[in-house]
Structures are given as C-alpha cells and as structure tokens.
Amino acid sequence: MSTPTPLPIGLTAHIAGPVRWVAGAPCLPLILPEGSASREGPIAGRYFLARCAEEVDGERTDWSLYLRRPLYAVQQRTQETGDEWLLHLPPDEDPGHAWLRRRAEGVAVHLLGPFGNGFALPDSGRNLLLLVDLTANPGWLALLLALLEPMLDRGGRVTLLLRLDGSLDEAVLSHLPIAVEIHTAPDEAAWTQALTTAIPWADQICAGVGRERYTALAQAIQAKRFRLEEGFCQVLVQADILCGVGACLACVIPTANGGITRACTHGPVFDLTRLAQ
C-alpha cells in the first residue's frame, strides 16, 4: 500500500523560455535551484503545484487565481544555471494555465513540490510495456516519457502501444528513442488484439488510460497471466488535484473494494489491483 509523500517546501523557479512541445504536449521549461527537487526514481507521474500570481515585496498582488495548478513532470536535465524541468502545461482555456503561458523568460514562478507517488521500475524487470490512450488524453504520452531512458539504460526492452485516431505525428516520433518498439491501434479491435499479444511477454505495464479501461485491462491480464498480481501494472489516474496534501478531497477516486482514496497523496500513480479486480 502506498504512503503519502512528505510535504515539500516552496521553490522559486524561473521561466527558461517559451513553451516547448514534447510528444504532442505543451511543456513549460523552468529552472529550479540545483538539487532543490528530489529526483529519486523516475519523475514520471510526479507533479508540482504552481502559484498563478505575481508577488511584490513578498506580497501576492492578485487573488483572483487563488488555487494552484498541478503541472506534471515530463523531463529533467541538469544545466549550468540549475535544474531545468519541463512541466506539462495543458493547452486549455483555464485562466491559471493562460497566466503561465503569458510569463516571459526569466520571470519567477512559485512552486510546491514535487508531490505524489510516481511510477516505480523494479530492478528485476527487463520488458516494459507502455499503454497510452491518446484519444482520452493527448498529453499522456509525454507524462510517461521519463520511463524510457531508465529501462533502456539497464539494457531493457520497451514496447509502446498507442490508441489514437489517425496516424502518429512525426513530431511525436522525434521524442521517442529508436530502440522503442511502437505499435498503434486506430480502433478498439486493433487495441484489444495488440494488448492480447503484448501482455504475455511483459515484466511490467505502465499505463496512461481512462478509468473506463481499468476493468478490461485487468481482465486481459488475468486471461493471459491467470491472475492480476500486485506490482505488475501501474496506472496514472486523472483526478482534480488542488491542494496536494489530501485536505480538500477534490481528488478522491473510487477503488476496487468499493472505497475511495486520495489521488494527490496516495497516487496519482496506482497499482491496477487497487483500481480494478
């Protein structure tokens, strides 16, 4: 059972440039002080909470955007000026996201984080299957990209199964290592067939799929492996994350045993055994 992560302290980040597109998702580049954000294990599935307001002499100047916005980690690189993080910035009409898109290079942004339990890659696994439903969330592939290098660096194998409408964009392909085996499913029949073929050889599955797929995914695993074992399949859930500490309960999601759990502290990555039976 996952345990809540400790409450992080505030960080002052600075905009490193214009929004960048990674695997079909817009990302905000931010420079954080080197070593200020923990990087133990893959960053995939972890997030920061950004304050969408400026400060003058330590005082907030605008309270109209009261709530912080969750920004999921996509990439981290150490630079001479500090640690550069790419954080997914959804391309919607949310006023907080719009405020962040308007920030100029060098402007400070206050963050809390990183929060949450992300994906975990066991030392023994060598065959990783990534499941991504781009029809449900076009940004999910970018949020799982940080799992690729750790698995490939250990000599492992990565297969990516994408559910998408149409063909895969060349700009998306450019962010995928050549060693990754890619399969696309343009419809549900193709998705089911590809999943049935891929499950038997996988040592671990990491997925970005909608809640409506949890039960079918669990059943497909059981059909090929006889039972769904804890630790075999992890899922990044969609939830309304506001506070990051489980206090507001906006992020609660149903569990397989009929209860509820808080995605912001006990997730947002969960073992599939907690979500479906």
pLDDT digits (tens, 9 = 90+) for 20-54: 999 999 999 999 988 777 666 789 999 999 999 87
pLDDT of residue 173: 85
Residues 17, 94: one domain? yes
Angle at 195 between CA 192 and CA 198, to 5 degrees: 155
Nearest CA to 214 out of 233, 201, 239 is that of 233
Residues 134, 97: one domain? no
Residues 155, 260: one domain? yes
Q: 115-170, pLDDT tens digit by residue?
A: 999 999 988 889 999 999 999 999 999 999 999 999 999 999 999 999 998 888 88
Residues 51, 135: one domain? no
Residues 81, 202: one domain? no
214 in a structural domain: yes
pLDDT band at 172 (very low <50, low <70, confident <90, very high): confident
Task: Point out the domain boundary residue: 86, 115, 144.
Answer: 115
Query: How many domains are there within the chain?
Result: 2
Range of the domain at 220: 127-274
Which of 39-48, 110-119, 207-216, 250-259 is least confident?
Answer: 39-48
% pLDDT > 90, the chain = 76
121 in a structural domain: no
**Per-residue CA distances from 53 to 13, 37, 269 (Å):** 13, 21, 29
Cα distance between residue 169 and residue 189, in whole Å:
21
CATH of the domain at 47: 2.40.30.10
pLDDT band at 195 (very low <50, low <70, confident <90, very high): very high
Task: Please classify residue 41 by burial: count the beta carbons closer than 10 Å to its beta carbon, then call 0-12 exposed, 13-18 middle and 19+ buried.
Answer: middle
Residues 174, 254: one domain? yes
84 in a structural domain: yes
Cα distance between residue 168 and residue 192, in whole Å:
18
Tokens found for residue 55: 């400060």
Residues 143, 224: one domain? yes
Task: Point out the domain boundary residue: 94, 115, 136.
Answer: 115
Residues 38, 139: one domain? no
2 in a structural domain: no
Residues 158, 47: one domain? no
pLDDT of residue 39: 62
Tokens found for residue 56: 């003058």
Residues 97, 139: one domain? no
pLDDT of residue 132: 97
Instruction: Give me the sign of the Cα torsion angle 44, 25, 253, 164.
Output: negative
Which of 85-94, 134-143, 160-169, 182-191 is least confident?
Answer: 160-169
Residues 131, 212: one domain? yes
**Distance between alpha carbon 271 and the CA centroid of its chain, in Å?**
14
Q: Which helix (H) or strand (E) holds 89?
A: none
pLDDT of residue 81: 76
Task: Point out the domain boundary residue: 88, 115, 142.
Answer: 115
Residues 134, 64: one domain? no
CATH of the domain at 229: 3.40.50
pLDDT band at 1 (very low <50, low <70, confident <90, very high): very low
